[in-house]
Amino acid sequence: MHHLGSSVSISSLQAVIFDLDGVLVDTARFHDQAWAELGLGLGYVLTETDRHAIKGRSRSDSLEYILEQAGWNDADTSQKSKWLHAKNARYLELVEALTPHDAAPGTLVLLEQLRSEGIKTALGSASQNAIKVLQKIGLETCFDTVVDGTRTTRSKPDPQVFWMAAQDLGCEPGNCAVVEDALAGVQAALEGGFLTIGLGDASVLGAAHRVVQQFSDLSVQGIKAWQLAFNHNKS
Ligand code: B16
Ligand code: MG
């Protein structure tokens, strides 16, 4: 007799929302470099702690953080906008060298497998350069929706970017997974009620429900199983 035991379950995973910088492509190092150079121009050497503190946050929030650390408390709006422009110009110079070979290994395969199982995909990025970066790495048509820093009004760790993505897809946050490399992004996804998968250093991202070291550690079966456990733990 065929027995339908408790191991036979329907996964509730409906969508996976991917962060961009540091997840789908290693551009986090370009942001780091551009901020480090700007910091040096202000006479301030960014530390590892600073790097993690600004990672995943919007351009303007990152600048505010650096100015505070560097003791520049009296900069006016026009000076700040020059620094923001300079940082972005440097970042765009660095991004120019990207090609489709720079997409994280396994990205296209994972996106294709998710699609073939009827699981939707989204990009959820704080960056205002997300479309440009997606074009450089050849992924601009690969997502069901793209939410980036040109659409949001609140920066990670606020969950807005991920909520907008879930809403675009018509999915409840509790049935979506978020893949994030930054502490601010992990906090946003947790606050937003998503299954939260950290990508990178577990000592930094340990608050996430799961942490993997590299993109190729992700699989559809794995994410579905994590989603089941996530939903089970809630009930
Ligand atoms: P931009 P993500 C974020 O992208 C980066 O992690 C963060 O370091 C950067 O400051 C932010 O985008 C804004 O980027 O200056 O290009 O608008 O990780 O959310 O994909
Ligand atoms: Mg990121």
- Please report, for the chain, the start and end positions of each structural domain, with discontinuous segments joined by +: 15-26+102-234, 28-95
Could you tell me how many residues make up the chain?
235
- Report d(CA 229, CA 235) in Å as an integer: 10
CA–CA distance, 66 with 34 (Å, rounded to integer): 12
Rounded distance, CA 52 to CA 49, Å? Answer: 5
What fold is seen in the domain 15-26+102-234?
A: Rossmann fold (3.40.50)
Model confidence, pTM: 0.93
The CATH code for residues 28-95 is 1.10.150.240
Mean pLDDT of the chain: 94
pLDDT tens-digit series, residues 144-188? 999 999 999 999 999 999 999 999 999 999 999 999 999 999 999
Each residue's pLDDT tens digit, 87-98: 999 999 999 999
Active site includes 21?
yes
The confidence score (pLDDT) of residue 3 equals: 39
Which ligand is nearest the CA of 35, by number? 1
| 53/80 Cα distance (integer angstroms) | 19
Structure tokens at 233: 């733990």
pLDDT tens digits along 75-84: 999 999 999 9
Closest by CA to 180, choosing from 125, 113, 106, 111, is 125
Regarding the beta carbon of 104 and ligand 1, being less than 6 Å apart is answered no
User: Are 127 and 149 spatial neighbours (Cβ–Cβ below 8 Å)?
Assistant: yes
For 184, the 3-state DSSP assignment is: helix
Q: Is the distance from CB of 19 to CB of 178 less than 8 angstroms?
A: yes
Q: How far is the CA of 125 from the centre of ligand 2 (A)?
A: 7
Q: What is the pLDDT of residue 9?
A: 47
